[in-house]
Structure 1
């Protein structure tokens, strides 16, 4: 089994050591190769642009596709994100790679405003992430694809942990947050 994880800083592991990132944790628990192709600040346009080079050319058996948070922070529409995600899914299927959708986690709006931009409406970004999640879960049911619902995993963990134990800055995750994300991944050959 060979998996490529493509995405933005949430996949890259911004703010934590490489070994603490959910992708590295997946690598430890899996008998196979796992390649991290997350890029800080990337959008779904960028992911689509580099998909051939960073995913298809690596000849993986699976690809985990997670993106859209930066698109929403920049004011891009949910439709743009969906179109890009669907294009990456179609490219995967065309080349015999099993696509898996990673649904990005919610942000903590209060922390994000403190550490990032007070000009970004992170509450609205979260509403758009939730709406994207609604689309993704419906799409998964229609297509029988696999999905890792990081949104649900992080949301449910908020009942168990303080937000400071999960978020570094309201957008990115602590080692515990990454561990929560890795904990829901189950890939079948």
Structure 2
């Protein structure tokens, strides 16, 4: 019995130490987040490194606006789904922008089918809607290959996943934000003008994304 208890405690502490969805990353910021100012409507950006790095590379997009960045580098959709309540719902935003899926295609947390990926994205959208949070679903950005995990041939998977997201958005009266069409090259990769590694936007890339995001935000906030 003592051995069993010890093993259980070790496994429990390992799991706790790992914090697989990284719930601790924004715990302090979430606790200390001030309410949105009168007349402002908070927008949460949920995603992976493409979202997280936006604040660093193109900070002026967020300055002076009720935009909250909750991207975490390397994350996949199941991780985002686990932390969705803490990092989105609890912040009581008017809307959430969900940009996710490329790390699932890369297999960052293990193999994932397109059905698995889209189901996680749709579950986040449904959680938001149930909590009276308006939803913007983003296309996954184009990618021809992954520097950290080459030879995965992601280009066609991205195209198919984007079709699934776009069709779901249309069927459920959700705003679809199409970054892909504005940033894709002739090989279905990310234009070199907009990225230094073929996956993550550089400042020029974020400057393409910014007006598209603003347009989507205006559209979603005008919806009844």
Higher relative contact order (CA 8 A, sep 6+): 1
2:158 aligned residue? 129
- TM-score of the pair, normalised by structure 2: 0.71
Which protein has the larger Cα radius of gyration, Structure 1 or Structure 2?
2
Aligned residue among 195, 198, 201 for 1:173: 201
Distance 2:55 2:122 in 1: 31
Alpha-carbon shift at residue 97 of structure 1 (Å): 0.3
Alpha-carbon shift at residue 17 of structure 1 (Å): 6.5
Are residues 1:9 and 2:41 paired?
A: no
Distance 2:148 2:82 in 1: 27
Residue-pair matches, total: 171
1:84 aligned residue? 120
Are residues 1:182 and 2:210 paired?
A: yes
1:146 aligned residue? 175
TM alignment of 1:37-116, pairs within 5 A:
37-74=70-107, 75-109=111-145, 112=146, 115-116=147-148
Instruction: Report if aligned partners of 2:57, 2:203 keep a CA contact under 8 Å in 1.
Output: no
Distance 2:86 2:116 in 1: 21
CA RMSD of aligned residues (A): 2.0
Consecutive unaligned residues in structure 2, runs of 5 or more: 1-40
The Cα offsets for residues 147-176 of structure 1, whole Å up to 9 and x where unpaired, read as 1111112127x7xxx943211111111100
Cα distance change on mapping 1:97 and 1:85 into 2, 3 Å: same
4+ runs of 1 displaced by more than 3 Å? none
Which one has the bigger strand percentage?
A: 1
- TM-score of the pair, normalised by structure 1: 0.83
Distance 1:39 1:66 in 2: 11
Distance 1:116 1:32 in 2: 34
Instruction: Report if aligned partners of 1:153, 1:184 keep a CA contact under 8 Å in 2.
Output: no
